[in-house]
Structure 1
Amino acid sequence: MPSIPLPSYDLLREWRHDFHRHPETAFEEFRTSERLATLLREWGLDVTTGIAGTGVVGVLDGARGAGPSIGLRADIDALHVTEENDVAHASCHPGRMHACGHDGHTTMLLGAAWALSRQPDFRGRVVFIFQPAEENEGGARAMLEEGLFERFPVDAVYGLHNWPGLPVGEAAVHDTAVMAAFDIFSLTLTGKGCHAAMPHLGTDTLLASCQLVTQLQALISRETSPDQPAVLSITSFHAGDTFNVIPERVELRGTLRCFDMELKAHLERRFTQAIETLAGFHGLQASLDYRRCYPATINTPNHAQHCAEVLDDLLGSDKVRRNPPPSMASEDFSFFLEQRPGAYIWLGNGHDCAPLHSPRYDFSDQLLPIGTRYWVELVAKLLR
């Protein structure tokens, strides 16, 4: 089958720069959703809006008759980051920025919809899923709770993410584990404050908290097998506001990440026990808010193989890295993969670009036609 023409590079770049100028954060992607729905309807897709508030789904049936149905997903939300790039398409909204490349992801999937709508030379159905609130808020879960796969049944679902540090024109495919599960927690330890010169008259919440921070690392170093990656990080520690008072309250926040869900359950249980034991020893009250956020992103091996074969043909097999170390970062595409088979890949965004979530990050426009072609060729392979 001859290659389907793509939108021009200038048009893809125009779309991407427009999304980048107008970043919208979780469940507030109103302008983005309206723009997507308008374009998809212009191209003849059956469009549904309002799923999980700002989610958009476009459905395109192939010209060659009945066949499988596949879902292709792009995340559309931005981050609460103030942009520091001096570019013409910089964010118009202070404190909000596309610092993770979702503007590029959205553009590449939009480009695939443009191309396939003009030449739907496939059998079956493509469901284009433009998902809100990937960053921490679980927009994928919200779409599923509103019946995404019941309303738009798919046999498999696919996603991608740009990857700084990997050259443009290269890709990475994992057979199984891609990104970690993550939980977050907030802990308050409360005791009896006292004068710093007379610690025996109070309960030293700071001493107890410091012991806890160091002792919790034993859950990773001594209770986790070396071949099972896991990270427990305390990322926030707030206590006191003067030189001569031991505070009565300390507030801690952090995250737990791993790939094996049984291990995660074990670590959560032991984490809770460690806090209870330490609080009891020091005579403190412990208030723990522990939230299970995203499961691990685990590909289905045969679907990952489909993606790898498409990328081999598109980029050359020497440009496709198979099973590099998975990332301890997390991704709510994992909720989709819990309900349907599929795969999630990485496309290189360049060696020299800033890291994800940096105020100096910018999606590489050179990646736009690569990602768009990848989606089109994946459809051609799966729905031929």
Structure 2
Amino acid sequence: MTHVTERTTVDSLQPLDDELREIRRHLHSNPELSFKEHATSDFVAERLTEWGYEVHRGLGGTGVVATMQVGTGAKRLGLRADMDALPIHETSGLPWASKHEGCMHACGHDGHMTMLLGAAKHLSITKSFSGKLTLVFQPAEETGYDSGAKAMVEEGLFDQFPCDMVFAFHNHPGAPQGQLLSREGAFMAAGDRVLLKVLGVGGHAARPHQTVDTVVVSAAIVMALQSIVSRNVAANDTAVVTVGRLRVVDALNVIPAEGEIGISVRSFDPGVRALLQQRIEKICRSTADAYDATVEIDS
């Protein structure tokens, strides 16, 4: 007997509106950082179990995977959302604002989880598909490098839960409500990080000539990095090189011997990605050398 599927529209989800709003506000109020999504993981797992999914815990530490087989179809579809928040203090003042100091769902992962939970509940009710559905709730997307996705895959995600196709998504602030955005080719960038330790010679602020000032060196490196996208990446390609961390000593009368720079790097094309790594490393080393400093690079 052929399994009959029904067309799903936005109106089909209207009965879940109040429940999903409550879920989203709960998740927003209780954010957790990367690989620490313990209460979030529990919340997600409890809902999926309640709706009839077979729930698996522990991949990637706090990851949740849920499966449901409907009909006799052989196709295997995966849907994925991320769970972690950012180390940002929320100042919105909303009733459902973060209850955790210095932690906020500022990137919208509370919304991502709510959307996937909404799809999960709708499909558990209608069972309007034939085949195997796999839902993946991934920890630690925000870490970029050594992320929860990498951990889950290395721990056998697709060996245990093979999929013919996996769909992931991300909110896009500024896009009209009710629209889905897509395009041919890569849609989400590769995210890399580069950590630098700048090594100089510390000393007293009154005797800078006896030092190799890592504040000056670090500032020069930050400014030199700004030329990579504008002068090394072709105009029809795209990339982002953002310095998100710059740390030196706090004392005003001390020239520090060390500085720290953290760089977020994003690209779509493997060739551009390789170029970015090459240029970042060369600029950092040569700029430091020009000031008689050195750098240690972890990329």
Q: With the length of structure 2 as denominator, give the TM-score of the two structures.
A: 0.85
- The counterpart of 2:276, out of the listed 264, 267, 271, is 267
Change (3 A) 1:207 1:46: closer
Structure 1 unaligned regions, length at least 5: 291-384
Name the SS of the counterpart of 1:171 in structure 2: coil
Alignment deviations for residues 26-57 of structure 1 (CA, whole Å, 9 cap, x no partner) = 22222222222222222222211122122111
For 1:176 and 1:159, the matched residues in 2 are separated by 14
1:147 corresponding residue in structure 2: 156
Name the SS of the counterpart of 1:162 in structure 2: coil
Using the TM superposition, give the Cα deviation of residue 71 of structure 1 relative to its aligned residue in structure 2, in angstroms: 0.1
1:97 corresponding residue in structure 2: 104
Change (3 A) 1:217 1:67: same
Structure 2 unaligned regions, length at least 5: none
Are 1:121 and 2:128 an aligned pair?
yes
Larger relative contact order, structure 1 or 2 (CA cutoff 8 Å, min sep 6): 1
1:351 corresponding residue in structure 2: none
Q: Map 1:252-263; keep pairs closer than 5 Å.
A: 252-263=261-272
1:37 corresponding residue in structure 2: 45
Counterpart AA for 2:236: D
2:90 corresponding residue in structure 1: 83
Counterpart AA for 1:280: D
- The counterpart of 1:46, out of the listed 54, 63, 67, is 54
For 1:266 and 1:53, the matched residues in 2 are separated by 34
Q: CA RMSD in A?
A: 2.5
Change (3 A) 1:111 1:231: closer
Counterpart AA for 1:173: S
Counterpart AA for 1:157: V
Q: Tell me the matched-pair count.
A: 289
For 2:136 and 2:111, the matched residues in 1 are separated by 15
Identity level (%):
42
1:61 corresponding residue in structure 2: 69
Are 1:178 and 2:183 an aligned pair?
no
For 1:275 and 1:257, the matched residues in 2 are separated by 18
Are 1:250 and 2:271 an aligned pair?
no
Conserved in 2, the CA contact under 8 Å of 1:61 and 1:120? Answer: no
Using the TM superposition, give the Cα deviation of residue 204 of structure 1 relative to its aligned residue in structure 2, in angstroms: 4.2
- The counterpart of 2:212, out of the listed 203, 207, 212, is 203
For 1:43 and 1:114, the matched residues in 2 are separated by 6
For 1:78 and 1:133, the matched residues in 2 are separated by 8
Alignment deviations for residues 358-381 of structure 1 (CA, whole Å, 9 cap, x no partner) = xxxxxxxxxxxxxxxxxxxxxxxx
For 2:92 and 2:217, the matched residues in 1 are separated by 43
Q: Map 1:1-384; keep pairs closer than 5 Å.
A: 1-3=5-7, 5-6=12-13, 7-63=15-71, 65-136=72-143, 138-194=147-203, 199-239=208-248, 241=250, 246-290=255-299
Using the TM superposition, give the Cα deviation of residue 169 of structure 1 relative to its aligned residue in structure 2, in angstroms: 1.6
Conserved in 1, the CA contact under 8 Å of 2:221 and 2:288? Answer: no
Name the SS of the counterpart of 1:165 in structure 2: coil
Counterpart AA for 1:18: H
Counterpart AA for 1:251: E
Using the TM superposition, give the Cα deviation of residue 155 of structure 1 relative to its aligned residue in structure 2, in angstroms: 0.3
Conserved in 1, the CA contact under 8 Å of 2:197 and 2:295? Answer: yes
Alignment deviations for residues 67-111 of structure 1 (CA, whole Å, 9 cap, x no partner) = 210101121222222222233322232222222222222122212
Q: With the length of structure 1 as denominator, give the TM-score of the two structures.
A: 0.68
Conserved in 2, the CA contact under 8 Å of 1:72 and 1:159? Answer: yes
Counterpart AA for 2:272: L
Name the SS of the counterpart of 1:174 in structure 2: coil
Alignment deviations for residues 153-184 of structure 1 (CA, whole Å, 9 cap, x no partner) = 10000012222111212221121122322322
Counterpart AA for 1:132: P
